[in-house]
Amino acid sequence: MKLDRHAITWLFFALVFVVLAAAPSWLERAPLLRAVEFAYIIALAQLWNLLAGYAGLMSIGQQLFVGVGGYTLYATAIHLGLPVWMGMPLAGLAAAALSLLSAPLLFRLRGASFAIGSWVLAESAMLLVSRSESLGGASGLSLPAAVVRAMAENADERIQRVWWVALLLAFGTTLLVVLWLRSRQGLALTALRDNETAAAGLGVDTRRVKLAVYLVVAAVTGVIGALIFLNKLRMSPSAAFSLGDWTASVIFIVVIGGIGSIEGPLVGALVFFLLRELFAAQGAWYQLLLGGIAMAVMVWAPQGLWGLAAQRWGWALWPTQRRLAPAIDALPDPGPDFASRQAHRS
């Protein structure tokens, strides 16, 4: 049996998933913790790419849902006594509910106004949490030792379980984006991205399509936020609602990798982590380096590194473009006597 290219791609990534799932058996604690961070950053990048690269919602306030997810997990574990693994889906529900409440306001805005509005909401949430004594105020919260012990028998087992969840989120968000873009909703989303006015003229309910993306992205981002601070065991408002950690770095990853492509966030995350490992100790020079690279890519390769490679060599791991069916050859002309012959037969 001959497998096509798409089947080979899926088999390859299934194999990668199995190998990575066994990472705790061949990685030490420190590199495994870095792998956890790499996995949830990929998940955040895929979600922001879906939101901005396809739905055209250029949000710079996604840290809102990261923070809400983290605080929901901590609040349910500390004040309600729920297991942390039960708190993670509740974190997603809380983020989704907040997205539904904020959507009517934000969707009145366009372009830069939408971006600024999303950032203002995130900053407002940070200020509100900072004033809440039940959420630890400005100093934040730590997970109690009893809650941490209930997660696993020891630190290694806890990190192993966190890694498995992070891996599922990284692969799950990528799969979600692939399947969404290959569905009818994905076709409507692509039409909306290319020309919102034309898409509306063709019958696409643009508001409904945008709301669906905004809601799903917020919910999954909330779950990721819960995982992030479950891994850290402590959170504060400034860390939970950090623009630099949860949105600016993700935007950098998507832009240099290739916005509007599924493979772009993967490439961008690899580049970002490589640069961080090599140059993060340089302080301000590291930030200048990231800014210079981002500007260079936007000027000379606006399609991103993956887009540049795809344009040159035709690479596509998960192609989502629709192709027109080949035209059917015209039937031969039956001739002028066709009607009379049919009448004679009848």
HSE at residue 194, side-chain half, CA atoms within 13 A, is 12
CA distance 231 to 238: 17
pLDDT value of position 336: 59
Residue with tokens 């027109």: 324
Q: What is the pLDDT of residue 234?
A: 97
What are the residues facing 234 on neighbouring strands?
Answer: 142
Cα 274-302-16 angle, rounded to 5 deg: 40
54-73 residue pLDDT tens: 998 999 999 999 999 999 99
**Chain centroid offset of residue 288 CA:** 25
Q: Please name the residues in contact with 242: beta carbons below 8 A apart, sequence gap of 6 or more.
A: 63
Residue 235 host element (H or E): strand 234-235
pLDDT for the residue 196: 81
CB 91 within 8 A of CB 225: yes
The domain ranges of the chain are: 26-241, 243-319
HSE toward the beta carbon, residue 78, CA cutoff 13 A: 18
Of the candidates 24, 21, 22, 40, the residue with the CA atom closest to the CA atom of residue 32: 24
CB contact set of 169 (below 8 Å; sequence gap of 6+): 39, 40, 43, 220, 223, 224, 227
Residue stretches of the chain with pLDDT short of 70? 1-4, 320-346
CA 159 from centre of chain? 22
Contact 250, 62 (CB under 8 A): yes
pTM > 0.75: yes or no: yes
Which two tokens mark 217?
């992205």
84 Cβ contact list (under 8 Å, min separation 6): 73, 77, 143, 147, 150, 151, 226, 230
- Note the pLDDT of residue 8: 83
Give the integer Cα–Cα distance in Å for 337 and 141: 89
User: Going by C-beta distance under 8 Å and a sequence separation of 6 or more, which residues neighbour residue 286?
Assistant: 275, 276, 279, 280
Per-residue pLDDT of 271-327, as tens digits, reads 999 999 999 999 899 999 999 999 999 999 999 999 998 888 877 777 766 554 555
Which pLDDT score, from 0 to 100, does residue 239 have?
97
Pairing relation of β-strands 141-142 and 234-235? antiparallel
259: Cβ–Cβ under 8 A, 6 or more apart, which residues?
49, 52, 53, 304
Helix ranges (H only) for 140-283 are 145-151, 155-181, 184-194, 196-201, 206-232, 237-240, 243, 249-257, 264-279
Terminal Cα distance for the chain, rounded: 50
Composition of the chain by helix, strand, coil, percent to 5: 75, 0, 25
